[in-house]
Amino acid sequence: MSIKLDNVSYTYMQGTPYQKTAIREITLEIQQREFVGVIGHTGSGKSTLIQHLNGLLQPTLGEVLVDGVNLHTKSAESKSARRKVGMVFQYPEQQLFEETVFDDIAFGPRNLKLDADTVEARVRRAMDFVGLDFDAFSRRSPFRLSGGQMRRVAIAGVIALEPTYLVLDEPSAGLDPRGRDEIFGQILNLYHTSNITVILVSHNMEDIARMANRLLVMHDGIISLDGRPETIFGGSIDRLRAAGVDVPSVTTLLRKLKTAGLPVLGEALTPEL
């Protein structure tokens, strides 16, 4: 069980003077139960990459397989494979539209033609995962909630679809530190208490280092590093720099981990020792 990219390239506006190859010949396999962090500079191809994971973008070259099924065969099998991948885009609360929190979270399950009891059970479970009390919130308008609460409603809407793989693009963007900690706490809780696989795009290395058990670094449309976060962050400065990693941020991160009493080695820290 995995998401597999086989030699995937994607070119925007192919055949025009503006054509741009955003990712190049990416071969990657994400196994079920991994928690994968994705980092990289703006424009490195993160968003293009993740939009391939549920078939939103069709590779210009190569193919994407979810649990062995090609996402672009126009078959029922292909459609159900896409449904295994839940996507939370940046600022997902902008897509809330129903009159109540319940209806918004129930929208996806209802589309699957599930019966009312199953829909309610899924809404309750999803609200529980994102820390929203059912009785207090389900009848409220999503538009009268705080920014952090709206975001949780939006994330609950994806969780209610019970995806096998959950892809989140900067889920904490624009939240205050408390809101950020809460969202990440809930994602970690979901990861630890279910069978879900998480793929998390974040510019915040500290969050990734804390949560992910695998790190992908993107640089100019390729995956320049792939490994355990502590191995990557503890690696040689030259290697990090060549892979497009922001070295001062790594140094700050390592210093924080060290202050917190966590064992870190890392060339990026050495000048300070």
Summarize as ranges the residues that interact with ligand ADP (CB under 6 A): 12-13, 20, 22, 40, 42-48
CB of 39 to ligand ADP, least distance (A): 9
Q: Which is nearer to ligand ADP, 122 or 214 (CB)?
A: 214
Distance separating alpha carbons of residues 221 and 135, to the nearest angstrom: 46
Q: Which residue is nearest to ligand ADP (CB)?
A: 47
CB of 189 to ligand ADP, least distance (A): 27
CB of 44 to ligand ADP, least distance (A): 4
Q: Which is nearer to ligand ADP, 56 or 190 (CB)?
A: 56
Tokens of 146: 């705080």
Distance separating alpha carbons of residues 122 and 41, to the nearest angstrom: 37
Contacts of 2 (CB under 8 A, 6+ apart): 29, 30, 31, 32, 65, 67
CB of 45 to ligand ADP, least distance (A): 4
Of 197, 215, 186, 206, the closest CA to residue 257 belongs to 206
Encoded amino acid at 116, one letter = A
CB of 138 to ligand ADP, least distance (A): 34
Rounded to 5°, angle at Cα 196 from 155 and 63: 95
Q: Which is nearer to ligand ADP, 15 or 261 (CB)?
A: 15
Q: Which is nearer to ligand ADP, 169 or 182 (CB)?
A: 169
Q: Which is nearer to ligand ADP, 45 or 108 (CB)?
A: 45
Q: Provide the Cα torsion 43, 49, 55, 56; round to 10°.
A: -10
Ramachandran region of residue 136, left (φ > 0), alpha (ψ -120 to 50) or beta? alpha
